[in-house]
Amino acid sequence: MAFDFDLFVIGGGSGGVRAARVAAQGGAKVGLAEEDKYGGTCVQRGCVPKKLMVFASEFPGAIEDAVQYGWTVHSGSFDWPAFRAKLEAELDRLEGVYRNILGNAGVQSFDARAVVADPHTVELSTGERFSAKHILVATGGWPVKPDLPGAEDAITSNEIFHLDSLPKSILIIGGGYIACEFAGILNGLGVEVTQYYRGAQILRGFDEEARGLISEEMIQNGVDLHLGTNIIEMEKVDGGFRVKSTNGDERVFEQVMFATGRAPNTAGLGLEQAGVKLGRNGQVIVDDYSQTSVPSIYAVGDVTDRVNLTPVAIREGMAFVETVFNGNPTPVDHALIPTAIFTQPEMGTVGLSEEEARDQEAVEIYCTSFRPMQTAFVGRPDRVLMKLVVSKATRKVLGCHIVAPGAGEMIQLAGIAVKMGATKEDFDRTVAVHPTMSEEIVTMREPTRSA
């Protein structure tokens, strides 16, 4: 049977665009449909605008420090509309880049919603139907709000970039990296930030020592963080939202933002009717090769709810093309993925936390915390953390955790060593780069403790 396309991709985010481009460059006839803006969560509603907002939010501290370093600085107030206009122009530029990538590779793109009609057919919101030998679902995820009266009027990370004006006060609900990043960003931009998290400590799943330091530093920086606290009810009132919480507080906030999780974008895609198995949260169930329960349908990225990171979606897209179009079955490697959390202070992490590692084997912990030179000079109390988790049996570094300005940049390079299986002695043999914060990673000689 002759198909209209060798591959039809549903979703124009990082994973879908990469798979479409590489398959098309290899000679496949490829179609791609995207109902919203190209670039997906990362470019339009995530990493890129978020990091630019982090940069913007760090200037007040930098200006204060500049005075302590001898500079005469005249700073005005933050002009949100001017920044937002520039941000939106940059996101539009990046969308154009993504469209050009597809066009230049020969991918036929459709600005429409696509659904799966059967294992080899997609149907667009324009009424067009196309047959495809392979279908790749790359529709990503979407923030979810709790089922609570009044929650429909609150915002999520999607809307935060497009507010007409910055609120004077905001309540952020959640304790994951999105909640904590935006708490830091908005605090830096001059918003009065309160954060509620129902758990005992923010950033669940990350190294306990590292997340404890981030929590302390966030509070020190001015975020009103309440742990073990959840929202009971909220209602829209003059001046914002009246919120009642489990700690007995009843306060009015100008804005409320939910950062309480994301769900895979699979509703109404026709997947179950086509025979594709979905998980409890609506995620597409796939094997190591990103293949679904229907052999002609694959899925990559956040819609599979495996490791929800942009570079991982791109890797999954590449592995899919290798497997299906290049005749080289390539499983996705989800081991030892370095990642950064752009809280303030930043965190970089790769490998196992101390808690995970000691559940598996006997380990030694090498850890140091100190005041970095740049901010200690101006009298700031900020602290940083450098930590290695080392196997007693093999001496391999099982985990590296850094809480410090620039931790994301550092962990990228440490990640190479950890991925290669470097031992503690390999780190020790490396000469320190002085004076830097990161030199502490190679100068810790004695273990802090065994676990």
Active site residues: 434
Question: DSSP of 251-262, one letter per residue?
Answer: EEESEEEE-S-E
Main-chain dihedrals φ then ψ at residue 387, nearest 5 degrees: -145, 135
Question: DSSP of 237-303, one letter per residue?
Answer: ETTEEEEEETTS-EEEESEEEE-S-EEES-TTSSTTTTT--B-TTSPBP--TTSB-SSTTEEE-GGG
Q: For residues 433-450, b (16+ Cβ closer than 10 Å) or e, as one string?
A: eeeebbebbbebeebeee
Specify whether the CB–CB gap between 337 and 312 falls below 8 A.
Answer: yes
Integer CA distances (angstroms), 245 to 100, 230, 239, 389, in order: 48, 6, 18, 38
Strand partners, 95: none
Phi-psi bin for 392: left (phi > 0), alpha (psi -120 to 50), beta? alpha
**Distance (Å, rounded) from C-alpha 281 to C-alpha 290?**
18
Strand partners, 194: 171, 224
